Copies of this chain bind each other. A is one copy, B any other.
């Protein structure tokens, strides 16, 4: 049985891609089951409910050598703690290739598209398998979620084409209204503790030259995508205290939390300390005021934040 899962702090693409890929593999004769590596954000339960699909179970501890398929991630820092002991058979992803290695030839399908959902639709078509309604709903949601309904610069023509194909199969007549309902669900943060908000869409990246381990810095990069940034920014002090705790607990060099206004396509990033201030100023050339850095239209962590930090910490790369 192949265990299929997305990254820790799962977002909609990570959860739905595990579900859709496990089902596709099962239809192709590969025994597979979807799992999750953490608690859902506020958007994904809405998506699963609309699709009529159950929340996948938390991944149990896997024994060394167990066969796994990764979706929507490939770096060990974003995966199950004992990843290097497991047998990675398959990866479907749209991120940069990190520290993954395999002992045997794997199936890898990476393309620089806006969401893993877009790749999963391609896999259905290449296999000549019709897309079922629930799977269509899940892939459609993943694409709308990851691309912020085409607002993100990660959006590609393949993502737009996939949504056009999937919407009628998913029986979503008004894609814009459905996306807004998803984003509203995601923004309904209630009295969620500040640390939960920070960790909800949060990834740790090693920056620097991996061949010189002493040069490598670990940075935690959180994003809160919301239609209601005022609410999040109103909790700035609480969030900074949570960032400070997480930085210490996780032994990080720095922590950034970006508040992305989905509808207005802006990014204001909370500045924790002089360390983060220096990096934000030097890497992005932005100014800070009131403990916030105005990162303008940089709404994609993957495309507009991580590569800039990568270049900043590894000038020769």
Q: Are B107 and A111 in contact (CB under 8 A)?
A: yes
Chain A interface residue count, Cβ-Cβ cutoff 8 angstroms: 31
A64 to chain B, nearest CB (A): 8
A210 to chain B, nearest CB (A): 7
A193 at the interface (CB under 8 A from B): no
A281 at the interface (CB under 8 A from B): no
A101 at the interface (CB under 8 A from B): yes
Q: Which residues of B contact A102 (CB under 8 A)?
A: 96-97
A81 to chain B, nearest CB (A): 14
User: Of the candidates B100, B112, B126, which one forms a contact with A107 in the assembled complex, judged by CB atoms under 8 Å apart?
Assistant: B112
Closest to A99 in B: B101
Q: Are B104 and A112 in contact (CB under 8 A)?
A: yes
Q: Are A109 and B106 in contact (CB under 8 A)?
A: no
> Which secondary structure dominates where chain A touches chain B?
loop
Q: Which residues of B contact A105 (CB under 8 A)?
A: 93-96, 110-112, 302
Q: Which residues of B contact A85 (CB under 8 A)?
A: 316-317
Q: Which residues of B contact A104 (CB under 8 A)?
A: 96, 112, 307
A195 at the interface (CB under 8 A from B): no
A161 to chain B, nearest CB (A): 14
Q: Are A98 and B96 in contact (CB under 8 A)?
A: no
Q: Are A103 and B210 in contact (CB under 8 A)?
A: no
Shortest Cβ-Cβ A-B pairs, 9 listed: A108-B110, A105-B112, A97-B102, A108-B108, A96-B102, A107-B111, A96-B105, A94-B105, A126-B126
Additional 10 contacts, C-beta under 8 A, given A64-B316, A105-B111, A107-B110:
A93-B105, A96-B103, A97-B100, A97-B108, A103-B307, A103-B310, A103-B317, A104-B112, A108-B108, A109-B109
